[in-house]
Each structure stands twice: as C-alpha cells, then as structure tokens.
A and B are shown apart, each in its own frame.
Chain A
Amino acid sequence: MNSQSSLAAATFVSRCDGILHAEIDQEIVALSIAKGTCYGLNAVGSRVWRLLAHPIQVSTLCEILTSEYAVEPSVCECQVLELLEDLLAEGMIKTCESIRERGADDLIGAEK
C-alpha cells in the first residue's frame, strides 16, 4: 500500500507510548489517547501486538508467527509487513533504527 515502505525484515519495531489496550474475547482493542481512536485487532493481529511490547525485529516476529501458525514464511512476512505498515500509519507503533535504542529493561524483558 505504501510504496515508500519504511519497514524491512531487519527493522526493529515496538508499540508507541500512549496506546492503551484491553482484551475482549481474546482479541485486542486498543485506543490512541492522542487521537481518541479505537482499533480492533483480530486473533493474529492481537498476537503480533503482544509481541510488540518490546522492540522486536520484523524477521524475528515472522519466525515466531511461522512457528505458531500454518503459514508459508514468505506469505507471513508479506502480511506482517502490511499489518505493521497500517499500525505505523496510525501511530500505534514506531520503528527503532538499531538495537541501541532499546533500553536495558527492554533487553532483559524482551519476549523470545
């Protein structure tokens, strides 16, 4: 959708601050406090959201999802990138240029 995609397999991404979320029927409903907009994520989107608690590389994200869902790696990466682009456009997530942007706490607490 976005021809000038800023995301690639090596990019680190994480949730933005100021986004609240709650789980209803195991699916994530999130709110951007700044925009006052409410977003709903489906089952896979909700899994991705949970993994975005700490900075994570897109490729790592895809590896985890491929191990959990019956999906071809190439298809997975394509769909994950699409979802992440949407989340990025809505200001729900941010990219981290390098691992140096990750705080010590994030490194310790990062989900495998």
Chain B
Amino acid sequence: MKLRLMSSDLADDNLASMPLDYFAFGLHLRSELELPEISTVTAVCDAPVVDIRLGTTGEIPAARYVDTACQISADDCLLNVDGVARYRVRNGEEIIVEPFSASFERRVRLFLLGTVFGTLCHQRGLLPLHASAIEVDGRAIAFAGVSGAGKSTLAAHFHDRGYPVLCDDLCAIHFDRSAQPMVSQGIPRLKLWRDAAKMLGWQFHSGEIDVDGQEKYQFPTGRASAGTTLALHRIYVLEDVRLSAQQRICRLKGVDATDALLLHTYRRGLLAPMGRTAINFMQSTSIAKRACVYSFSRCLGFDNFAAEAEKLEGHFLKAGNARPGRYG
C-alpha cells in the first residue's frame, strides 16, 4: 500500500504505472493511488469514469472563492489539507492528488474518500447526503445527522443484525429517469469512534487509528456489489433529544423535510461558491416528495442505544409505515 508516484517524480516517465480500477458510488474510479477501502467492491459495466491521478494541483485562475483551505469555482475545486495533501477536482471527471509526503497514505485517502469525493458528487450533480445507509428489503434506509449523531454506530449495529451497509458518512444520491432518488454502493467500510466500537463489541487494533488525535477506527463491511443501486426509501434525521421538542420518531413533510435535507447536505458550504444552491434545493424537494423523511431524537452516548436501535428497527420494518401513500 504505497503512493505509486510522488509529485516530485512526475518528470520521470519510467515511474508512471497503469492505474487501478475501483468502483463506488456508481462510478468507475481509475486511480493511480491504491484504494484498499474500495478494493472489495465488484465492477459495474458502463459506469462513468473518474480519473484519480497523482500530480501537481496548481492554482485555480479566477476562483469564485479563495481562502487558505480551498479555491472554488463552478466546476473546479482545489482543497488544501495542511500537512496531508492538496486535491484538485475538475468537471466531475478528474481528481489530482498532490501529497505532501509519501508517509501518510491513510490520511491522504481519508480526505480523498470524504470531502474530496463529496466535492466530486456536487460537481457530478449527485446530492451527497451526510448520512450512512443500509439495505432493508431491497431498498435504502439512510441515517443522516451531524458528526457524532450516531450515523455510523447505528449502521454498524444494523450490520451486526444482518442488514448490508451501503455507505458510511457520505451517501451519494442520484435520480433515475422518473426522478426517484437512488443510492449506489459507496465505500464498504464503517468509521467508528473507540467508544462506539467497544460498545458494539467490535475488535480494533491501534494500527487502525483513523485520524491523528481522534480515536476513530475503520472497519471493512465485507464484499459489496457496486452494481447495487437501490431506491432511497426513508431518511431518519438523527437529532439530539435535548434539542428536540419532537416525539421520538416523527414524520417531516414539505418544508421541514426539505430543510433537513438542505441542512444535512454533505459539505454544503461548497454549494454557494459552486453556484449549486438552486440545484441542491430542487434535488432536496425531489427527495422530500418521493422518500419518507423522519426526525429521530436520541440520547447522545450509549446508555439507551439498544432500546433506541430496537425502536428504530421496529419503525422501518413496520409495514404500515411503508411508502408515502401518494407516490407509492
């Protein structure tokens, strides 16, 4: 597991090697970086190609938004993660990675598979939701929420209960010809905090540490079929019970559902400088029309976790809660 080519070696053609093929989010990723997190995903025919290359990112001329962390234009985005790498995402078709050092591959991939893929989704007109999703009865159920709300922990719990995990943290939603929101297999791994992994009884090793200083661990969720694309049936928005006046689980409709989807769009700060506010709104209303959105208030921490997860499972399994009537 090595970065195959460092930017300083670019002039040396002899080091250039054949890219590797990976599949995730319905895309064919042709990558010069090894991506072990996705290597278990099987191929999809005719998936659009995205090239991931090692190289020099350069600067974006006349970017609409510029600060030390990013330069953003409509179809061109440069992200600078201090001490890790610079990433340039262009036209939804190409990602150039310029690592600062060869020794932090894991961290280089961490941001690549997160924020950078989120940016790629925005450019490709997908709606990246800050959510983890599982498969229930041939359809996708997503858990959306801010960091620490329990998305991954719930997905991990349901993984233990036998539900396949579709994606973690970043849920890329696209729309089929009838405007039905769909979810494709994302990265087949879960990222869990140490406490969550302990509570679930998942074995972890110190070598699995994910972010320096943050005790987060990665767990592969097994072989996944990238060809699997499922209708997004429900979204549960995870809320802190102390901040919510709502019942434990309550249906959000119309403006409330739309608002929740806007709020939990992944890296939504990118939308305005990319000029994608309007598209994001239309996509959010489209999801609100065709999927059921619920708010699910839970206690942070794990004291009530088992009971809460059981309640949630009972809710999404209950036939009476099935599809939204009119669009069913």
Interface of A with B (CB < 8 Å)? 20, 22, 24-25, 27, 29, 31, 33, 36, 38-40
Contact B255 A38 (CB under 8 A): yes
B229 to chain A, nearest CB (A): 24
Contact B255 A22 (CB under 8 A): no
Interface of A is mostly: strand
In the complex, how many residues of chain B place their beta carbon closer than 8 angstroms to a beta carbon of chain A?
18
Contact B278 A24 (CB under 8 A): no
* Chain A residues whose C-beta falls within 8 Å of the C-beta of B278 in the assembled complex: 20, 31, 33
Interface of B with A (CB < 8 Å)? 253-259, 262, 272, 277-278, 281-282, 285-286, 288-289, 326
* Those 8 A-B pairs whose CB atoms lie nearest each other, nearest first: A40-B255, A22-B285, A31-B281, A38-B259, A24-B254, A29-B255, A29-B258, A40-B254
Cα A17 to Cα B212 with chains together (Å): 47
5 inter-chain pairs at a CB distance below 8 angstroms, sorted by A residue, are A22-B258, A22-B286, A25-B289, A31-B262, A40-B258
Contact A25 B277 (CB under 8 A): no
* Chain A residues whose C-beta falls within 8 Å of the C-beta of B272 in the assembled complex: 36
Q: In chain A, what residue has the closest Cβ to B271? A: A36
Contact A40 B256 (CB under 8 A): yes
* Chain A residues whose C-beta falls within 8 Å of the C-beta of B277 in the assembled complex: 31, 33, 36
Cα A52 to Cα B278 with chains together (Å): 20
Contact A24 B259 (CB under 8 A): no
Contact for B262 among A25, A38, A40, CB less than 8 A = A38
B18 to chain A, nearest CB (A): 45
* Chain A residues whose C-beta falls within 8 Å of the C-beta of B281 in the assembled complex: 20, 22, 31, 38
B43 to chain A, nearest CB (A): 37
Q: In chain A, what residue has the closest Cβ to B257? A: A24
Contact B326 A25 (CB under 8 A): yes
Cα A22 to Cα B286 with chains together (Å): 8
